[in-house]
């Protein structure tokens, strides 16, 4: 029978609940437990698919094609456990489902209310993950305690505590202790008030995880324990880590958080198996060198818009015991004969998904620079489109080549709308046996996640291949091109799918691992002037 952990946050937003939840998941797995993870968000969007990445960060895509919150990326990267459309639930989705049931007459004429109908739907979403083979369901409640939109979720998890019994439910509350620098002391009052809000709802936290800029003194721990009604040993300190977010599980383990959870649930307590995690962290925190990856295009300077991509690059660096410095390169800096100031420092160039017509010229110029100078290059999604368009224009002589989204009337639509509409989720891909990609993956059949509506136009494939481009990855039928590479180039790859969504801390994605290897090789042969 599954146990339930609920993680809430108070005082301020952006506390890092997602990282903390993922870290707890990793610790429980290290103790031999089988887990599932769930993010519940109070916004009214049905899913984050239509939300601006500037506001909410990247949209994560699961194997089954769900458009999900970016925290699901943290869950998968830390735990290695798959997530699905059941793992990301918003208020909008809950209300949508309830209203559809009402329209279908499933409530048999009853007045539809926040309690019990909305709360019952929330509880059903949580319990849907409590399969017979699951020991613990970890649920992160988005938002901040006190926000009106989050109240139905808090009421629902209160009810689960009553229904399941307190020995099978554990509440973890994350809070923030502000530092008054003039006085040189941490203040506990906001945390006390945050817990008081929870207690008004009927939730008494079992564990208090405290974010702060300096260590908690014993006096502060005792004060928090007394006024928040939390055992002293369950007041957990979470300072900013020095090097990498992957240190957080080790920080929590040192304070015995996993032990607290196992004791509360009266579960077996085998020793934690964290040797592989410690080795991975050591590779990141004790690098032998630094590689610099230039990321071109819109929002390149906003880390959360490409969160999975940045983490995948760092995973690849860790595989070679290299620190990865990600250098944003505005697309506009490549136009009008102007090169970015830091371009000579770059060991590899990457063009991610996203962007619009305004930065297309700059992206194409960046692709051309990488292709003509031998700089290792990886294009993803929109970066794939740019690689195809640039090659068509400057190698095949199709000077007006473009995609039909940017230029509907282009005479050479080398990239056009996918015949079957937007592609979402995991899709199989067949790799040519002698291709670079097959060597990188060590396989000729792979599966990767997609989110795209534009593809390479098959009418132009013969011309592109005749000019030296290799379409090295396609759907199993051999029709839809998913990967291109240039054998005449030291390392030039563009993929339509998103490999960053399948990279994990303990299992770096082979494509990013090999990109970093190519960057190291380029660095050794092209030292900066």
39 with 167, same domain: the answer is yes
Q: Total structural domains in the chain?
A: 2
380 with 261, same domain: the answer is no
Q: Once rounded to an integer, what is the mean pLDDT over residues 96-122?
A: 95
For the segment 484-498, what is each residue's pLDDT rounded down to a tens digit? 999 999 999 999 999
What is the per-residue pLDDT for 335? Answer: 78
How far apart, in whole angstroms, are the C-alpha atoms of residue 300 and residue 293? Answer: 12
- Do residues 34 and 78 make contact, with C-beta atoms less than 8 angstroms apart? no
What is the per-residue pLDDT for 358? Answer: 72
What is the per-residue pLDDT for 237? Answer: 96
Instruction: Give the N- to C-terminal CA distance of the chain in Å, as an integer.
Output: 63
CATH of the domain at 401: 3.40.50.880
377 with 474, same domain: the answer is yes
Lowest mean pLDDT among 233-247, 250-264, 324-338: 324-338
Cα→Cα distances 230→17, 97, 170, 224, Å: 19, 37, 12, 7
What is the per-residue pLDDT for 298? Answer: 58
Domain with 245 in it: 3-278
Q: Once rounded to an integer, what is the mean pLDDT over residues 505-520?
A: 97
What is the per-residue pLDDT for 486? Answer: 98
461 with 495, same domain: the answer is yes
What is the per-residue pLDDT for 525? Answer: 86
Give me the percent of the chain exceeding a pLDDT of 90.
84
202 with 228, same domain: the answer is yes
The pair phi, psi for residue 47, each rounded to 5°, is -150, 170
80 pLDDT higher than 90: yes
- Do residues 349 and 321 make contact, with C-beta atoms less than 8 angstroms apart? no
What is the per-residue pLDDT for 50? Answer: 79
203 with 328, same domain: the answer is no
Q: Residue 57: which pLDDT band, with cuts at 50, 70 and 90?
A: confident
Q: Residue 395: which pLDDT band, with cuts at 50, 70 and 90?
A: very high
420 pLDDT higher than 90: no
For the segment 421-457, what is each residue's pLDDT rounded down to a tens digit? 899 999 999 999 999 999 999 999 999 999 999 999 9
Beta strands (DSSP E) in 179-313 are 179-180, 185-186, 207-212, 235-239, 289-296
Give me the percent of the chain exceeding a pLDDT of 70.
98
Final residue of a domain: which of 246, 278, 310?
Answer: 278
What is the per-residue pLDDT for 229? Answer: 94
Tokens of 432: 């040519």
Higher pLDDT, 391 or 361: 391
- Provide the sign of the torsion angle of the four alpha carbons 300, 302, 305, 309, taken in this order: positive
363 pLDDT higher than 60: yes
Q: Residue 389: which pLDDT band, with cuts at 50, 70 and 90?
A: very high
529 pLDDT higher than 80: no
295 with 274, same domain: the answer is no
Final residue of a domain: which of 278, 300, 318?
Answer: 278
For the segment 283-339, what is each residue's pLDDT rounded down to a tens digit? 999 999 999 999 997 555 566 788 999 999 999 999 999 999 999 998 888 876 677
H/E stretch holding 380: strand 377-380
190 with 331, same domain: the answer is no
294 with 442, same domain: the answer is yes
387 with 462, same domain: the answer is yes
What is the per-residue pLDDT for 300? Answer: 55
239 with 378, same domain: the answer is no
What is the per-residue pLDDT for 359? Answer: 84
For the segment 453-477, what is each residue's pLDDT rounded down to a tens digit? 999 999 999 999 999 999 999 999 9
CATH of the domain at 144: 3.40.50.300
What is the per-residue pLDDT for 336? Answer: 65
What is the per-residue pLDDT for 242? Answer: 85
For the segment 15-27, what is each residue's pLDDT rounded down to a tens digit? 889 999 999 999 9
Omega before residue 116 within 30° of 0, cis: yes
For the segment 125-166, what is each residue's pLDDT rounded down to a tens digit? 999 999 999 999 999 999 999 899 999 999 999 999 999 998
Q: Residue 14: which pLDDT band, with cuts at 50, 70 and 90?
A: confident
384 pLDDT higher than 60: yes
What is the per-residue pLDDT for 191? Answer: 94
139 with 188, same domain: the answer is yes
Final residue of a domain: which of 278, 306, 338?
Answer: 278
| Per-chain mean pLDDT for the chain | 93
13 pLDDT higher than 90: no
């Amino acid at each position: 029978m599954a146990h339930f952990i609920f993680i809430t946050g108070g005082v301020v937003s952006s506390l890092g609940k997602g990282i903390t939840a993922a870290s707890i998941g990793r610790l429980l797995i290290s103790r031999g437990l089988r887990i599932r993870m769930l993010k519940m968000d109070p916004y009214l969007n049905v899913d984050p698919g239509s939300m601006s990445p500037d506001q909410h960060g990247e949209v994560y895509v699961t194997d089954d094609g769900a458009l999900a919150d970016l925290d699901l990326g943290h869950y998968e990267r830390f735990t290695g456990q798959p997530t699905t459309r059941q793992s990301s639930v918003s208020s909008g989705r809950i209300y949508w489902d309830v209203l559809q049931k009402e329209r279908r007459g499933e409530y048999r004429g009853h007045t539809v209310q926040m309690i019990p109908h909305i709360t019952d739907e929330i509880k059903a979403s949580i319990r849907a993950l409590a399969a017979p083979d699951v020991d613990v369901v970890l649920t992160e409640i988005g938002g901040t305690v006190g926000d009106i939109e989050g109240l139905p979720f808090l009421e629902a998890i209160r009810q689960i505590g009553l229904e399941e019994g307190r020995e099978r439910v554990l509440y973890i509350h994350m809070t923030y202790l502000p530092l008054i620098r003039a006085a040189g002391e941490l203040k506990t009052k906001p945390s006390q008030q945050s817990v008081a809000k929870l207690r008004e709802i009927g939730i008494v936290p079992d564990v208090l995880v405290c974010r702060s800029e300096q260590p908690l003194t014993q006096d502060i721990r005792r004060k928090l324990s007394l006024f928040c009604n939390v055992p002293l040993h369950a007041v957990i300190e979470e300072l900013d880590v020095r090097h990498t977010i992957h240190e957080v599980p080790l920080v929590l383990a040192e304070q015995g958080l996993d032990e607290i959870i196992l004791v509360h649930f009266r579960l077996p307590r085998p020793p934690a198996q964290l040797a592989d995690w410690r080795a991975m962290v050591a590779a990141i925190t004790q690098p032998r060198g630094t590689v610099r990856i230039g990321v071109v295009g819109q929002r390149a300077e906003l880390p959360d818009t490409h969160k999975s991509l940045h983490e995948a690059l760092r995973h690849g660096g860790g595989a070679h015991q290299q620190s990865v410095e990600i250098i944003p390169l505005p697309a506009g800096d490549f136009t009008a004969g102007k090169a970015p100031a830091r371009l000579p420092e770059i060991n590899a160039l990457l063009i991610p998904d996203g962007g619009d017509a305004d930065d297309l010229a700059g992206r194409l110029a960046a692709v051309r620079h990488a292709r003509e100078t031998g700089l290792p290059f990886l294009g993803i999604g929109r970066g794939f489109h740019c690689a195809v368009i640039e090659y068509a224009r400057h190698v095949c002589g199709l000077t007006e080549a473009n995609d039909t989204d940017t230029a509907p009337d282009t005479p050479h639509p080398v990239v056009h709308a996918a015949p079957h509409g937007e592609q979402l989720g995991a899709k199989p891909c067949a790799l040519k046996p002698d291709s670079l990609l097959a060597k990188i993956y060590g396989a000729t059949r792979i599966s990767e996640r997609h989110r795209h509506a534009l593809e390479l136009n098959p009418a132009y494939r013969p011309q592109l291949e005749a000019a030296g481009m290799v379409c090295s990855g396609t759907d199993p039928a051999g029709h839809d091109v998913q990967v291109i590479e240039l054998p005449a180039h030291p390392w030039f790859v563009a993929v339509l799918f998103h490999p960053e969504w399948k990279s994990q801390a303990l299992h770096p994605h082979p494509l990013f691992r090999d990109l970093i290897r190519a960057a190291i090789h380029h660095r050794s042969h092209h030292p900066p002037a």
